[in-house]
């Protein structure tokens, strides 16, 4: 419900995430007025494969938007714009005449295109992809997922050639549905999402003809690439047409770029790290496209309207919060995610155990799809509480590897790390993070920075906020952790962690 402090008008933001979809309504000070959220099914058809039902996701999106509006006790007249942020890379293809997806969406964690990426590497070469798109050839990205669908769904190539099929990451899917679907929905994406496909040229910010051809994705199925903050259309589609008809859909950013925006990292050298299903650290590099030599990605940070694009370096970690979920759901060692902290605090240290969760291979800085998870250092002494510690430490050490790579590539020493995401409610993890980074870790008052970033971008697009300076003023520190670990312990533990990482490599043989 709104209160005396939260007079309208408001901006709504949809976060279509990996595990759930949520909608948050914000006021002009960037404060949360209401939230609604719904989880969707995680579908694991084979080891390494992860899918989502895009129709279920669209139904959930409509429900949470209507839910958040109802909880806020407001109507469409109180809302100036709606923004979108989304899990990136997850790929859906659908029939533009029926609005039906042709297959489940293939999720960013899915490794089924490993073989295809290796083949492309042999035929076309890794360097060209890195140079033009800023990305290594890896199953993580959307382009190869689209090619897999075209190759594996009966008759799809012919339907695509006939112009009946549309491609989208989840921003595109949600915007197309929001703005009318089969009745004239806008088929668009923003530069940040497009920069995760392996199909967009980072220098021109357009689909790259030669790369699309070598991956085997016809350009006619691709959406138009637009900025992250502009009006793409108005809400007209689905159940939401009745609730929100006419509201401008005014932003789209991949969730990690949205968090960079929501953390107000608007200056070169500012960085944030988001701790959710996976963990993603992004550093604003301004107008510079920095080629990484240390296993980071070069990506678009954001682009406001027709302003110059802002680029970023990114360290992507595939498995962090999902390791906690695995301890809960697959191992049954905890009942809730929060319990991992209580369990870990029941012992002094990791008892000599190190857990490298290479469930989808290893992302940054290694990009090794042949790696698989390892628990190293096991003895009879180790209990489930030690493993709980090792699980939390895995997130901290993986972050340390990324910050080392960021410093090498950008020359910027980390003064402090701004954090957000579901895992940041874990105090032990935040303290461990500060210890292993040997730097302060800072959490803002509004930890929902992903939605906040999308709301900020939408608000800028419609003049609700006038400049990024307005937004900076909204950022407030809620908590800070400072390092307590001595250098000797830190160095010894880091060495052990790196030894455990080595043991994950080469598990999957080429022919598997
Ligand atoms: N107290 C906690 N300690 C450790 N991990 C947690 C805690 N609370 C939530 N998580 C993890 O955080 C993740 C959810 O965070 P969230 O930011 O909502 O993720 P996403 O946006 O990726 O869906 C889950 O993977 C969950 O296991
Ligand atoms: O939905 P999240 O928060 O797990 O984010 C997923 C990332 O966008 C994957 O690149």
pLDDT band for position 2 (cuts 50, 70, 90): very low
How many Cβ atoms sit within 10 Å of the Cβ of residue 67?
18
Q: Which residue is listed with tokens 């292993």?
A: 436
Closest atom of ligand 2 to CA, residue 256: 8
- What 8-state DSSP symbol labels residue 422? G
ipTM of the complex: 0.97
Q: Which residue is listed with tokens 């290594």?
A: 136
Task: Give the helix/strand (H/E) hosting 419.
Answer: strand 417-420
pLDDT band for position 187 (cuts 50, 70, 90): very high
- 98-151 pLDDT tens trace: 999 999 999 999 989 988 998 888 887 778 888 899 998 988 999 999 999 999
Residue 325 among known ligand-binding residues: yes
Residue 208 among known ligand-binding residues: no
Q: Quick one: pLDDT at residue 6?
A: 61
How many Cβ atoms sit within 10 Å of the Cβ of residue 467?
10
Residue 89 among known ligand-binding residues: yes
- For residue 236, the Cα-to-chain-centroid distance in whole angstroms is 27
Specify the pairing of strand 32-39 against strand 20-26: antiparallel
Q: Which residues pair with 314 in a beta bridge?
A: 282, 297
CB 420 within 8 A of CB 220: no
Residue 398 among known ligand-binding residues: no
Q: Quick one: pLDDT at residue 450?
A: 93
Burial of residue 381 (number of CB atoms within 10 Å: 0-12, 13-18, 19+): exposed
Closest atom of ligand 2 to CA, residue 276: 3
Torsion sign (Cα): 396, 401, 406, 412: positive
- 463-507 pLDDT tens trace: 999 988 889 888 888 899 999 999 999 999 999 999 999 999 999
Nearest Cα to 320, choosing from 284, 362, 382?
Answer: 362
The pocket around ligand 2, CB under 6 angstroms, is made up of 17-18, 87-89, 108, 254-256, 276-278
Cα of 278 to ligand 2 centre, how many Å?
A: 6
Q: Which residue is listed with tokens 């105090």?
A: 427
Q: Whose CA is nearest to atom 18 of ligand 1?
A: 422
Structural tokens at position 408: 């090498």
Closest atom of ligand 1 to CA, residue 421: 17
Q: Whose CA is nearest to atom 7 of ligand 2?
A: 87
Pocket test for ligand 2, best of 277, 281, 321, 322 (most atoms within 8 A of CB): 277
- 397-442 pLDDT tens trace: 999 999 999 999 888 888 889 999 989 999 999 999 999 999 999 9
CB 139 within 8 A of CB 210: no
Structural tokens at position 406: 């960021």
Average pLDDT, the chain: 93
Q: Quick one: pLDDT at residue 122?
A: 85
Query: Which ligand is located closest to the Cα atom of residue 432?
Result: 1
Q: Which residue is listed with tokens 């080429």?
A: 510
The pocket around ligand 1, CB under 6 angstroms, is made up of 17-20, 276-277, 321-322, 324-325, 337-338, 340-341, 421-423, 425-426
Cα of 337 to ligand 1 centre, how many Å?
A: 7
Query: Which ligand is located closest to the Cα atom of residue 343?
Result: 1
Q: Quick one: pLDDT at residue 469?
A: 86
Cα of 280 to ligand 2 centre, how many Å?
A: 8
Cα of 417 to ligand 2 centre, how many Å?
A: 19
Pocket test for ligand 1, best of 40, 277, 431, 454 (most atoms within 8 A of CB): 277
Q: Quick one: pLDDT at residue 470?
A: 84
CB 41 within 8 A of CB 53: yes
Q: Which residue is listed with tokens 């790196």?
A: 498
Residue 492 among known ligand-binding residues: no
Q: Which residues pair with 356 in a beta bridge?
A: 374
- 18-61 pLDDT tens trace: 989 999 999 998 999 999 999 999 999 998 899 999 999 999 99
Nearest Cα to 52, choosing from 22, 18, 25?
Answer: 18
The contacts of residue 360 (CB under 8 Å, 6+ apart) are 48, 109, 110, 111, 139, 140, 318, 319
Distances (CA, A) of 218 to 53, 125, 128, 176, 191: 24, 20, 19, 19, 19
Residue 422 among known ligand-binding residues: yes
Q: Whose CA is nearest to atom 7 of ligand 1?
A: 423
Closest atom of ligand 1 to CA, residue 450: 21
pLDDT band for position 8 (cuts 50, 70, 90): confident
Q: Quick one: pLDDT at residue 4?
A: 43
Helix, strand and coil in the chain, % to nearest 5:
35, 25, 40
The contacts of residue 203 (CB under 8 Å, 6+ apart) are 132, 289
Q: Quick one: pLDDT at residue 1?
A: 47
Residue 277 among known ligand-binding residues: yes
| Three-state secondary structure of 29-79 | CCCEEEEEEEECCCECCCCCCCEECHHHHHHHHHHHHHHHHHHHCCCHHHE
- What 8-state DSSP symbol labels residue 368? B
Residue 322 among known ligand-binding residues: no
Q: Which residue is listed with tokens 């605090």?
A: 345
Q: Quick one: pLDDT at residue 510?
A: 62
- Asked whether residue 159 carries a pLDDT value surpassing 50, the answer given is yes
C-alpha Rg value of the chain to the nearest Å: 22
- 199-241 pLDDT tens trace: 999 999 999 999 999 999 999 999 999 999 999 999 997 778 8
- 287-332 pLDDT tens trace: 989 988 899 999 999 999 999 999 999 999 999 999 999 999 999 9
Q: Which residues pair with 224 in a beta bridge?
A: 188
Closest atom of ligand 1 to CA, residue 420: 17
Helix 321-329 crosses helix 384-410 at what angle (to 10 degrees)? 160
Structural tokens at position 395: 């997130």
Nearest Cα to 252, choosing from 202, 193, 306, 164?
Answer: 193
CB 106 within 8 A of CB 87: no
């Amino acid at each position: 419900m709104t209160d005396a402090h939260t007079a309208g008008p408001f901006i709504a933001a949809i976060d279509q995430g990996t595990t759930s979809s949520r909608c948050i309504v914000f006021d002009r000070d960037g404060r949360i007025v209401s939230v609604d959220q719904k989880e969707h099914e995680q579908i694991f058809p084979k080891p390494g494969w992860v899918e989502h039902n895009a129709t279920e996701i669209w139904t959930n999106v409509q429900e949470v938007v209507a839910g958040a509006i109802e909880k806020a006790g407001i109507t469409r007249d109180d809302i100036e714009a709606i923004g979108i942020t989304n899990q990136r890379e997850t790929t859906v293809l659908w029939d533009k005449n029926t609005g039906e997806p042709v297959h489940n969406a293939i999720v960013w964690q899915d490794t089924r295109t490993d073989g295809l990426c290796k083949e492309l590497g042999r035929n076309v070469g890794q360097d060209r992809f890195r140079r033009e798109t800023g990305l290594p050839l890896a199953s993580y990205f959307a382009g190869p997922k689209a090619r897999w669908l075209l190759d594996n769904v009966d008759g799809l190539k012919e339907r695509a050639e006939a112009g009946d099929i549309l491609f989208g990451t989840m921003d595109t899917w949600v915007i197309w549905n929001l703005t009318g679907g089969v009745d004239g929905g806008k088929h668009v994406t923003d530069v940040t999402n497009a920069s995760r496909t392996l199909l967009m040229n980072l220098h021109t910010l357009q689909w790259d003809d030669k790369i699309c051809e070598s991956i085997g994705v016809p350009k006619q199925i691709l959406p138009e690439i637009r900025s992250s903050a502009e009006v793409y259309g108005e809400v007209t589609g689905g159940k939401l047409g009745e609730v929100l008809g006419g509201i401008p859909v005014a932003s789209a950013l991949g969730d990690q770029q949205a968090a960079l925006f929501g953390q107000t990292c608007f200056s070169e050298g500012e960085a944030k790290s988001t701790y959710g299903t996976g963990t993603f650290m992004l550093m604003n590099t301004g107008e510079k496209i920095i080629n990484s030599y240390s296993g980071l990605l070069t990506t678009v940070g954001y682009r406001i309207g027709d302003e110059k694009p802002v680029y970023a370096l990114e360290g992507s970690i595939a498995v962090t919060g999902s390791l906690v979920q695995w301890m809960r759901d697959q191992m049954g060692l905890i009942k809730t995610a929060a319990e991992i902290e209580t369990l870990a605090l029941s012992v002094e240290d990791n008892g000599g155990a190190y857990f490298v969760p290479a469930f989808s291979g290893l992302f940054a800085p290694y990009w090794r799809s042949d790696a698989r998870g390892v628990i190293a250092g096991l003895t009879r002494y180790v209990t489930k509480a030690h493993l709980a510690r090792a699980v939390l430490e895995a997130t901290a050490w993986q972050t340390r590897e990324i910050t080392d790579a960021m410093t090498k590539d950008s020359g910027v020493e980390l003064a402090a790390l701004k954090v957000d995401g579901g895992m940041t409610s874990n105090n032990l993890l935040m303290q461990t993070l500060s210890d292993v980074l040997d730097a302060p870790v800072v959490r803002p008052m509004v930890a929902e920075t992903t939605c906040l970033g999308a709301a900020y971008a939408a608000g800028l697009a419609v003049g609700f906020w006038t400049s990024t300076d307005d937004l900076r003023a909204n950022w407030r520190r809620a908590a800070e952790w400072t390092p307590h670990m001595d250098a000797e312990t830190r160095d010894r533990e880091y060495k052990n962690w790196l030894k455990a990482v080595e043991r994950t490599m080469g598990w999957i043989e080429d022919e598997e």
